[in-house]
Structure 1
Amino acid sequence: MYFTKMKNKYYSQNARIIQYLKFFYLLIISQNTSEEKLTAHRSFQSGFLSNHTIDDYYNSSLDATTKTKYFFHSCMDQTKIRERGSAPLLQLLEELGGWPILGNDWKESEFDIVWLMAQLRLFNNDILVSEWVGPDLKNSEEYIIHIDQTTLGLPSREYFTNPHNYKYIEAYRTFIVTVATLLGASKDTVYEDTDDLIKFETRIAEIMTSHEDRKHLERIYLRTTIGALAHYFPQLDWIRYFSMVLGKTMTLEDPIACFCTAYLHRLVDLLSNTDPRIVANYLLWRFIRHRTNNLDERFLLAKQRFYYILFGKEKPPTRWQFCIQQTNANMGMALGKLFVEKYFDEQSKKDTLEMTIQLQEAFQEILSENTWIDPSTKDYALMKLKNIDLKIGYPDFITNVTELNRRYIDVEIHPDYFFENTLSILKHLTRYEQRKVGKEANRTLWGTSPAIVNAYYSRNKNQIMFPAGILQPPFYHKHFPKALNFGGIGVVIGHEITHGFDDKGRLFDQNGNLDYWWKEPSVLEFHTRAQCMIDQYGAYMLPEVNARVNGYLTQGENIADNGGLKQSFRAYQRWLKNHPDADETLPGINLTGRQLFFLNFAQIWCGIQRPESAKTRLQTAVHSPGIFRVLGTLSNSLYFAEEYNCPAESPMNPAFKCILW
């Protein structure tokens, strides 16, 4: 999916934020014994036992932070989760028509694929087809429906299509069988059903368009209507599907952005030739797989065994860490309020803003020096640069109790029912998206919670976002020498600025619209320089797994790394010129400020990864491994070679360097 789902670039630093999140553990475990809680508890419990829903009994009058604490409590109460076992999931599966793999009473005549797909989407699941509401690529002021090809139960389509990944398929099969057996499936039939399910998912993987074939975004984007979709793919009732998903009656004229016409052609043919029982098993499995997080230790152990094969994770996080992660993922804005109140220094916001202005000036300087770009394209690039929208720290609404409470007004949370609490939030996310349909796009919205170690650039908004969580060591500290801050958060700022001008970002104008504003000679020169980086990084071999980096898959991030380093170093040099008396040294380290700049850049990518995780990332991640983010970028830097006196034509100072921005 484009523009709405963003990968975590700074995952290696998230361990740092765990130290801060311990605060939440201590804060949230303090019990609230108010009469409001006790009354809600009794009514909710009696309602659940008599087969009523949360909405029948539990009101939404609690404030958002109290709901956050209740959510955390429900996750931490393993005794209650253990007592309830698989009952909450089994009850929900029954309401969804039953999971065929669990018994022989499933009736094919009652299977309604459109209804089931829609119900699962209402729980924020994308299965068979990914669907979301967001700004149109060619009119970023308008929210419209988007659809794309699906995600899979393994990290990428290659896990299903490459015979060398057989062990991952076997681990996946064991995971499905174990979960199904825990839910009551018969051992006489569970293996056959699971084999059929995996064969079907393998067929889905085979009909998906490869990453390489999707590289030209402007070619796969198609603005059409629901009516046209219904005309070309009549096997699915699209009007009914979108009406259920979006909570309103849709019409044939409603616009839709489609990125997967070739996939849809093959999908409807596959569905027409697949036993409905297999399709139903697959749809519900993809939903069940994520709900194992909300069940007892038996299901978490099954997932852990699967993740050990897939990622090399030897043990799961401690329960409190798991519950903090779940709380941040589900109640991120409310939890973010607590985080910024305790840990966010407004000085960091001011410093980041000042550094961003300095980085933009450095990029403007680099842009003016580049001789390979024609004057017209330069003018448009400068206009886009000056029009970048900056978001730092957190959205203002989280400090306003009324506004924050309104954000979660439809979320029903009870301190004892972790499973239902998660479902309530999933339905809330869907309703939040439903309200956007047909409205003008809101550029002030934040796409992430504050307590996240990450930074983002949105092509469709021409917007940069720096959550509060990343404005901490080793990226930034107000008492650091400027060398460390420019080598840390400064490079991150430059990285995000450069994303506006990488292989995909350059396709969008200053307003976030897909627009062809480059002159052809400059496009050809861009591709030549980008190919240099594709070849450079594609030659790197990760020795732990004896596999090469995918230079094409990682090109956008490699372009951003190289551009960000150059911009930030130039900005730092200018700062030094304006502060000649600044002490830019560190005690006990015999390095200049300029050398410390590059040292901290390398420091932020220090990390250890397991071989299994490294192998997975090489196949799926858009970022190069940390070691090559350092070596590749620094070996292209004339400034680094000069400051560290690297011999000419040495590995870190090759005669030919790949330089784009």
Structure 2
Amino acid sequence: MSETPRELEPQLSVQPSSQPEPERGLRPPPLFQLPLPNQDLSETHYQPQLQLSESVPEHQHQTQSTVWINHRRLLLLLLGLSLCAVILGLIYYIHHNHQNRSENLTGTETACVSPACQRASARLSMSVDPFTQPCDYFLFTCGSDRLSPDSGGRQRGQGIPGHPQNQRGEAVSPERKAQIKEREDRRLREDKILDRKNVLLQYLRETLESKDILGSTAVQKAKGFYSSCLDTKSVETAGVEPFLELVQKLGGWAVSGQWNRTDINSTLSLLMRDYATFPFFSLSVGRDPKETAHGTTKRYIQIDQPDLLIPIEWNSKTQKSQARTQTLRPFLASCQTYLALLGAPRSSRMLHVGTFISLSSELAVAATPLEYRLSRGQLYRRMTIKELQSQAPAIDWLGCLQATFHPLPLTEDDHVILHNLPYMVHMSRIIGKWLNRDELSNSGPLHTYMVFNLLHTLMPALDSRFSETQNNLSVALGKSEGVAPRWKDCVLETERGFDLVLTDLLEKRTAHREAEEIIQNIFTSFKSKLRKLKWTNQTTLQRVMKKVHFLIPRLWTTKEISSEAELDLLYSKVTVSPQSFFSNYVQLLSLWQKRRRKLLTEQTEATDILSVTPVLQGNELLFPMGMFVPPLFHPTYPRAMNYGVIGFLIAKDILHLILPEIYSQSQTVHTVGECVWAHYLTVTEQAGRGGVFSLSAAQRQEVWVQYSALQIALQAYHQSLKNHPRDTTISGLSRTRLFFASFSQVNCDLDPYREFMPLEPSFLITVVCAKSGLCPTNLECPNKTQQPLLQTC
């Protein structure tokens, strides 16, 4: 931990007292008496000792000696009392001066009055301040499932077998309907928390809804698309007609009684090319990790099993997937509702729904979990399109891929990467079997299956009856997380098609210099923290430090677009209709597919505008621009606020990325985690109670990460003050107090590791403040019993 900044150190200046010292009025008894009137002065001069003893009687001499002793004792007493008074006054002066300098502005601090600071000040005034409300700041405010003094020792994240850094989480069993409301309420609470993803979406919302700057043509189209998405009245008025018209363009379907008996591969090619719909398999573009390790940046078409609409579960005994029996009834009901909304005759609904479920169940047999395929070596299997055609002949692979990636030249000798070849073989066999079932030739089950998948793709653009049906099914399956607000869905849909536009807008509004500065300062503090850890051996330390040394941390900016003119040209063929979200959404799907096509030929990695955590690419540690948006970060904020919020989050992210190298090789992680937990048990008066659980390895790890991240951010801020002593403040708070107050606002960040934090991260302020001189006031809860002095972790 770095030294306390100078403005927090009391400047002692003891002034001389203007009052006379108490002992100045006292005089010691005379050692010599004046000579008697008739006494010879010469005698006195030559025989002083004799005259003294002879002129004073014995009893008078003893009395004077006693008086002198008493006076001396009184003098010593008064001197002692005076010294104590001075010491007490000095102590009071130090405390009073230290408190005043903590609570009020110093001469070097000025108030930040920018609009961003004014909004931040309003937020701080509505949040709990750990220094004025020390009994409340560590309470359980992030979620209802945390450990609390009244929860009987319930462990947060109980039942989770391991940390997500170390292994993949297992599938969560369906929740009861009674739990749905609780989860929705929690979602509403979490929407109010300044977690990074919600903050970024809200910022993009404000950007799309702003009318201060008109922007380029591409920007106006993005805003028009977003606006049409919000226009639910027009969506409700349009109803199902736009979808039915689209189905007719695809040759109709047997459900409506009008079907042109189109070829399965011709319909599949259209769905893949124009509507980004992949009924029988999924499609993506990416690198081969085996080649990436050798520096190759070539990208391949990657083919995987699809996201089946029917709910399935993995049977570990048979090593096969199967439809979940208890969910078939609600799934059947939802399919019937969809057909009813699309105007299908009641007499034929059951036939088409039955064949759809039967076909889906057969395809699901060969779908396997990712962990299973990884253990069997089924991921990243490369083969030519010609070889794939021989393995799964029911699909015209070359024709479908050429249509999807037109105008890129593809041949049967081009390589693709398979992630589940056994599924492709099984899927081809099932399609061939259903094509040869003469009794079902008039009902077109394969074509109906593809239309159902198209309906699922276009569901966001249809009226609320479809989304309500989908949500009811989720509730029945125990998967509902609540209905997101419309604006949030619209922001996400806009990003799918206009990601380059939003990326360009975000890049122009990001304070690059300030963001780069805090990234570099936090990374430097992080490296300093690594050197102070207790390592098992120096070889391990050198290996980790060498890896960290070659990392290049920087802001993740894009090189795809260099001008507004390029953006306008890219979106020149897009026509946005203000009152037809469906037609706009269809164009979005086409844009989405064009982006996938472009990725196949590009060598640079496209930025992910919705990313809010850093990523490692080779030796580069990239921090997305979405991390540096208000209210989490602003260039006009006091640096104390920026370091307390985004500085802490950056440090936490870096530690999670490098964590595997640290956790297994340093005892510090275990020791510090237990030390912080001991603080928590003591302050909450749970120490010594029966039933209070000890921390798991994953929990100790997460406690150490967040505690260390707070220390790293504070150290980086102190270092920045040494380099640039001037800083502003808000709400009249001292620098360190503003740092901690800002941190306490975002300690509930919703990241993948949140479930492993057994206490409110804001409690870490208490542990840091246990180190004398760091905090402006002592954090003690007056209604708690006096706690023993806590050690420094």
Equivalent position of 2:344 in the other structure:
185
Correspondent of 2:241 among 72, 87, 91? 87
Alignment-mate amino acid for residue 350 of structure 1: R
Could you say if the C-alpha distance between residues 163 and 274 of structure 1 is closer, same or farther in structure 2, counting changes exceeding 3 Å? closer
Match among 752, 768, 775 for residue 623 of structure 1 = 752
Distance 1:242 1:486 in 2: 49
Q: Describe the SS at the equivalent of 1:224.
A: strand
C-alpha separation in 2, matches of 1:558 and 1:91: 58
Matches within 5 A, 1:374-385: 375=539, 379=543, 382-383=546-547
Question: Which of residues 290, 295, 300 is equivalent to 1:144?
Answer: 300
User: Over aligned residues, Cα RMSD in angstroms?
Assistant: 5.1
Counterpart of 2:326 in structure 1 is 166
The answer to whether the Cα contact below 8 Å between 2:551 and 2:619 also exists between their aligned partners in 1 is: no
1:131 paired to 2:283: yes
| SS in structure 2 of the partner of residue 604 of structure 1 | coil
Deviation at 1:497, TM superposition (A): 3.6
**Aligned counterpart for 2:613 among listed residues 415, 436, 455:** 455
Instruction: Give a deviation string over 1:487-534, Cα, whole Å, max 9, x none.
Output: 43234323544565467xx9xxxxxxxxxxxxxxx99979xx99xx9x
Structure 1 position 627, deviation (Å): 5.2
Q: Counterparts of 1:57-68 in structure 2 under 5 Å?
A: 63-68=217-222
Structure 1 residues 461-480: aligned runs within 5 Å: 462=620, 464-468=622-626, 470-473=628-631, 475-478=632-635
User: How far off its partner does 1:623 sit?
Assistant: 2.3
- What SS does the aligned partner of 2:576 have? coil
Match of 2:250 in 1: 96
Find the aligned partners of 1:215 and 1:335 in 2 and give their Cα distance.
Answer: 36
For residue 287 of structure 1, what is the amino acid of its counterpart?
A: L
Which of 639, 646, 651 is matched with 1:494 structurally? 651
User: Can you list the C-alpha shifts for 1:63-114, whole angstroms capped at 9, x where unaligned?
Assistant: 21232243244435555544543222112212324344x2455476x44247
CA distance in 2, matches of 1:293, 1:340: 28
Per-residue Cα deviation, 1:312-370 (whole angstroms, up to 9, x for no partner): 5666635x6654553344324334555676xx352xx3232122223333444455557
Return the alpha-carbon distance in structure 1 between the equivalents of residues 559 and 582 of structure 2: 31
For residue 604 of structure 2, give the secondary structure of its aligned residue in structure 1: coil
CA-to-aligned-CA distance 1:424-458 (integer Å, 9 cap, x gap) = 22112222332443x35124x3232xxx5733526
Q: Distance in 2 between matches of 1:178 and 1:67?
A: 35
In 2, are the aligned partners of 1:486 and 1:568 still within 8 Å (CA)?
A: no
Q: Which residue of 2 aligns with 1:390?
A: 554
Deviation at 1:297, TM superposition (A): 3.8
Report which stretch shifted further, 91-100 or 627-636: 627-636
Q: What are the within-5 Å matches in structure 2 for residues 418-429 of structure 1?
A: 418-429=581-592
The 3-state SS of whatever aligns with 2:347 is coil
Distance in 1 of aligned mates of 2:735 and 2:213: 46
Mapped to 2, the partners of 1:623 and 1:308 lie a distance apart of 23
Aligned partners of 1:16 and 1:256: how far apart in 2? 35
The 3-state SS of whatever aligns with 2:630 is coil
State the partner residue of 1:539: none
User: Does the aligned pair in 2 maintain the 1:227–1:252 contact within 8 Å?
Assistant: yes
Amino acid at match of 2:607: W
TM alignment of 1:239-250, pairs within 5 A: 239-247=398-406, 248-250=408-410
Higher relative contact order (CA 8 A, sep 6+): 2
Q: How does 1:5-20 map to 2 (within 5 A)?
A: 14=198, 17-18=201-202
Secondary structure of the 2:517 match is helix
Q: Secondary structure at the match of 1:223?
A: strand
Alignment CA distance shift 1:314-1:376 (3 Å): closer
2: CA distance between counterparts of 1:67 and 1:223? 40
- C-alpha contact 2:373 2:420 (8 A) present in aligned 1: no
Q: Structure 2 length normalisation: TM-score? A: 0.56
Aligned pairs (5 A) from 1:90-489: 90-100=244-254, 102-106=255-259, 110-113=262-265, 115-116=267-268, 119-120=271-272, 122-137=274-289, 138-139=291-292, 140-153=296-309, 166=326, 170-214=329-373, 220-247=379-406, 248-274=408-434, 277-306=444-473, 309=476, 312=480, 317-318=485-486, 323-335=490-502, 344=509, 346=511, 349-365=512-528, 371=535, 375=539, 379=543, 382-383=546-547, 386-388=550-552, 390-392=554-556, 395=558, 400-437=563-600, 439=601, 441-443=603-605, 445-448=606-609, 452=610, 454-457=612-615, 459=617, 462=620, 464-468=622-626, 470-473=628-631, 475-478=632-635, 482=639, 484-489=641-646
- In the alignment, what sits opposite 2:749? 604
Q: Is the 8 A contact 1:398 1:404 kept in 2?
A: yes
Report % sequence identity. Answer: 17
Which amino acid counterpart does residue 645 of structure 2 have in structure 1? G
Classify the secondary structure of the residue corresponding to 2:297: strand
- Structure 1 position 245, deviation (Å): 1.5
Q: In structure 2, which of residues 207, 221, 224 is the aligned counterpart of residue 70 of structure 1?
A: 224
Q: Contact (CA 8 Å) 1:221, 1:259: kept in 2 or not?
A: yes
The answer (yes or no) to whether the contact 1:471–1:489 under 8 Å persists in 2 is: no
Distance between the aligned counterparts of 1:559 and 1:99, measured in 2? 56
CA drift at 1:12: 7.1
Matches of 1:91 and 1:316, distance apart in 2: 29
Q: 1:358 to 1:296 in 2, by over 3 A?
A: same
Q: Could you say what secondary structure the match of 2:368 adopts?
A: coil
User: Is this contact kept in 2: 1:74–1:417, CA < 8 A?
Assistant: yes
Q: Give the 3-state SS of the residue equivalent to 2:747 in structure 1.
A: helix
Distance 2:267 2:543 in 1: 51
Letter in 2 for 1:90: L
The one-letter code of the counterpart of 2:414 is: D
Query: Counterparts of 2:729 and 2:394 in 1: how far apart (Å)?
Result: 67
Q: Distance in 2 between matches of 1:93 and 1:131?
A: 22
User: Structure 2: how far apart are the matches of 1:118 and 1:499?
Assistant: 43
Contact 2:310/2:323 (CA < 8 Å) preserved in 1? no
> CA-to-partner distance for each residue in 1:367-388, whole Å, 9 max, x for gaps?
5557468859955874576344
Q: Tell me the distance in 2 between the aligned counterparts of 1:558 and 1:237.
A: 53
Offset from partner CA, 1:569-613 (integer Å, 9 cap, x none): 3243243256377799976899857855763452434xxxxxxxx
CA distance in 2, matches of 1:635, 1:164: 44
Q: Tell me the CA shift for residue 289 of structure 1.
A: 1.6
CA contact (8 A) 2:367 2:423 kept: yes
Q: Establish whether residue 570 from structure 1 lines up as the match of residue 712 from structure 2.
A: yes
Residue 287 (structure 1) shift: 1.8
Q: Give the secondary-structure state (helix, strand or coil) at the position aligned to 1:455.
A: coil
Structure 1 residues 481, 172: CA separation in 2 closer, same or farther (over 3 Å shift)? farther
Q: In structure 2, the residue corresponding to 1:134 is in which secondary structure? A: strand
Which residue identity is paired with 2:752?
A: H
Which stretch has the larger CA shift, 192-201 or 424-433? 192-201
